[in-house]
Structure 1
Amino acid sequence: MSGPQPRREVAGMKGYHSAQVDVRVRLNTNESPDAPPEGFSAALAERLAGIDWNRYPSRSAEELRSGIADLHGTSQENVFAANGSNEVIQTLLLGYAGPGRRVGLFSPTYALHAHIARVVGSEVITAPRRPDFRVEAGAAARFAAAEQPDVLFLCSPNNPTGTVEDPETVQAALEAVAGYGGLLITDEAYVQFAGREPGRFSAVDLLAEDAPLVVCRTFSKAWALAAVRLGYALAPAHITEELHKVVLPYHLDVMTQEIGLLCLQDAAAADRRAAGIVTERENLA
């Protein structure tokens, strides 16, 4: 007699794992080589001294979401926070993908997008990037219009190629999914490393209550908080409302929320850290 079997989709999959090695520069996981600034741990200990450990954390992390909203000039109703941008993506796909639905990707790109899509039971469809690893605006629009994925991912800067999409490409993809009722998710985990041009474009510029667009960000990279697992989505309020239905209760623990709030007190530190890394990258180029 056989034992319990996983779902067919899961049985044929490999887990998503990156090797963890004890070296200063870890390019395979793109961790910051520098820790948060001196005094961070002491300031955190002071904040944690006042925690009621016998109480559950804020269920929807209102204070943290409000701080993130202030950073982006929006409302906390437009912010969803979770344990890393990966949990943000998982929650989005639990709500907007799944069995009988399709998720579109431009390959090669971040492998976890397809991995999570398959875990939740979605069909994954792909379109190739150009030889320079960018996505041409017309190609993005044609792929979306022809295949009509329920969710379309656009990773910019792309992981692992580092290529940044033109504003026209993001706009074309957004208009295409809006035409048939799909959702565009832009993964901007590395946006602070895209360069230092004034007025640098971000898909955040296209957010609106009537736009089917979600922008994912993380504290793991430029914020140097990979150990914490904190990410967030910026989206129309009606989308974040659906995400709060899907996510587990009290999913974001009190320490993560407090660390996020502490970092937001000096939000410019993340940009300074990223700028230093960009400078070193340019020196090596």
Structure 2
Amino acid sequence: MIQDFFRSDLSDFKAYEVSKTDYKVRLDANENFSNLPSEVRAKIAWAIEDSIFNRYPDGAASEVCARYAEYANVKSTNVMAGNGSDECIQIIANTFLNTGDKVLVQSPDFSMYGLYTKVAGGIPIEFPLGNELKLDINGFISMANEKKVKIVFLSNPNNPTGGIIQREDIIKIINGCSCIVVIDEAYFEFYGKTIVDKIESYENLIVLRTCSKVGLAAIRLGFLITNNVLMAELKKVKPPFNVNAISQCIACVILKQPEIIYKNVECILNQRKYLWQKLKDINGIQLYRTGGNFMLIQVENAQKMKERLLQAGINVRSFTAATLKNYLRITVGSREENDYLLKNISCKNGGII
């Protein structure tokens, strides 16, 4: 049987299924709610027209990395581009993990940390968040060292909770854990604080970034930022030509004008404030503080609310994990999308429909 050639350790894996995209209001994927302005799209079209299609792209994505380094205020030699930050996570796992090596993640957190750990032959260990979905810093450090983990992955702000790990606590984790520490700053722009300035100070620190949350989800571009010693090792595993020429071209147009990103972020933050205030006043919803472009809510019957919203053409993120059974993650939308969401959540007496 052909199944005899399959990997036995992947037998319980389930394919990552992406939900369909033809909803009236899409508030499930933490994307930017607005497309790029027409004048920016025109500049992109002109740039693409000059692209060389019969040659492989720049394997190092040199210009893109240089532009992003300027944006992130680091050296270009400290930046690696990936086909989305997902690929950067995979490169890290494939670079450092031997079969049976352990990786520590907080739970809940971005699922791809555990998935790529398993694919690389590693063992993911989950450290559950405590009251109010907060991370016990000392307990986390103790477990990392007790279990002798090789890598720690932490998203900050956290996905899906939106929670924040303060800078001094991140430094405590970097100092306290005898392993590589990966801080995923996918939602950095909405939080505004970073640890990227410490990549040269700590030999075990890697920072991840992405363009997906600030209006460029379609081009699948992420970045890995670290010191020269770790970078040299990571480059051994990075696939050649992993970022295509069109994605590089588009990113360079945007990164030459970072005010496009700043304006997008400002619009999202304004709508986040608006949506927060409205949801906060609805009886029956527990709302969690967020540093991302989304917010997590807890309701008595999340699946019932999810189904009701789907009937109205609104898709939000629900979860299968028992710890998040009655939670929904809602991406911040445009004013019109947010109002339509609120109309389908609350009733006139201020409670849940």
Q: One fold, TM greater than 0.5?
A: yes
Matched letter for residue 59 of structure 1: G
Q: Give SS of 2:224's match.
A: strand
- After TM superposition, give the deviation of residue 119 of structure 1 in Å: 1.3
CA distance in 1, matches of 2:138, 2:262: 32
Contact 2:152-2:182 within 8 A present in 1 as well: yes
Unaligned runs of 5+ in 1: 195-199
Name the residue aligned to 1:169: 169
What pairs with 1:205-216 in structure 2 (closer than 5 Å)?
Answer: 205-208=197-200, 210-216=202-208
2-side partners of 1:25 and 1:207: how far apart?
A: 39
- 8 A Cα contact 1:105 1:154, kept in partner: yes
Q: What secondary structure is seen at the aligned counterpart in 1 of 2:223?
A: strand
Give the Cα separation in 1 of the matches to 2:224 and 2:54.
29
Distance 1:62 1:79 in 2: 9
Q: Deviations over 1:122-175 (max 9, x none)?
A: 111111112222213322322222222100011111001111111122111101
Corresponding position of 1:278: 269
Q: Which amino acid aligns with 2:184?
A: D
Q: What residue in structure 1 maps to residue 57 of structure 2?
A: 57
Contact preservation (8 Å) 1:189, 1:217: yes
Aligned mates of 1:97, 1:20 — CA distance in 2: 34
Alignment of 1:80-99 (within 5 A): 80-99=80-99
Match of 1:201 among 182, 193, 196: 193
Paired-residue identity, %: 28
Shift of residue 50 of structure 1? 2.1
1:91 CA displacement:
0.7
TM-score normalized by structure 1? 0.91
Cα pair 2:51 2:246 within 8 Å, conserved:
no
Equivalent runs, 1:28-47 vs 2, <5 Å: 28-47=28-47
Structure 1 counterpart of 2:172, which letter?
A
Match in the other structure for 1:197 = none
Q: 1:217-262: CA deviations, max 9, x gaps?
A: 110112x111110000111122222222112211111101111111
Determine helix, strand or coil for the equivalent of 1:216.
Answer: strand
Matches within 5 A, 1:103-118: 103-118=103-118
Bigger radius of gyration: 2
- Identify if the C-alpha distance between structure 1 residues 35 and 132 changes in structure 2 by more than 3 Å, giving closer, same or farther: same
Cα distance, 1:42–1:136 mapped onto 2, change above 3 Å: same
**Residue deviations 1:158-206 (CA, integer Å, cap 9, x gap):** 00111111112211110122xx3x1001111112122xxxxx4312132
Query: Which residue does 1:192 correspond to in 2?
Result: 189
Structure 2 equivalent of residue 264 of structure 1: 255
State the partner residue of 1:221: 213
State how far apart, in whole Å, the 1-side matches of 2:2 and 2:148 are: 40
Residue 183 of structure 1 pairs with residue 175 of structure 2: no
By how many angstroms is 1:46 displaced? 1.4
**Which stretch of structure 1 is more off in the superposition, 163-172 or 206-215?**
206-215
Following the alignment from structure 1 to structure 2, what is the Cα–Cα distance between the partners of residues 142 and 92?
A: 23
Alpha-carbon separation, structure 1, partners of 2:78 and 2:89: 16
Residue in 2 that maps onto 1:121: 121
How many residue pairs are counted as aligned between the two chains? 276
Distance of 2:263 and 2:45 partners within structure 1? 24
Q: What root-mean-square deviation, in Å, do the aligned CA atoms of Structure 1 and Structure 2 show?
A: 1.6
Q: 1:81 is paired with a residue of what secondary structure? A: strand
Q: C-alpha separation between the residues in 1 aligned to 2:163 and 2:172?
A: 17
How far, CA to CA, are the matches of 1:190 and 1:272 in structure 2?
15
Cα contact 2:103–2:150 (8 A) shared by 1:
yes
SS at match of 1:125: strand
Which consecutive unaligned segments of at least 5 residues does structure 2 have? 277-353
Judge conservation of contact 1:215–1:234 (CA < 8 Å) in 2.
Answer: yes
Q: Does residue 250 of the first structure (1) align with residue 229 of the second (2)? A: no
- Aligned position for 2:131: 131
For 2:152, the aligned partner's letter is L
Counterpart amino acid of residue 32 in structure 1: N
> What corresponds to 2:318 in structure 1?
none
Q: Secondary structure at the match of 2:206?
A: strand
User: Which 4+ stretches in 1 moved above 4 angstroms?
Assistant: 1-4
Q: Is the 8 A contact 1:97 1:150 kept in 2?
A: yes
After superposition, what is the alpha-carbon deviation per residue over 1:81-124, rounded to whole angstroms, capped at 9, x for unaligned? 01100011111111012412111101111111111111111111
The alignment partner of 1:217 has SS state of strand
- Aligned match of 1:151: 151
Is the 1:16–1:112 Cα contact (8 Å) retained in structure 2? no
Does the 8 A contact of 2:137 with 2:173 survive in 1?
yes
CA 1:25–1:171 in structure 2 vs 1: closer, same or farther (change >3 Å)?
Answer: farther
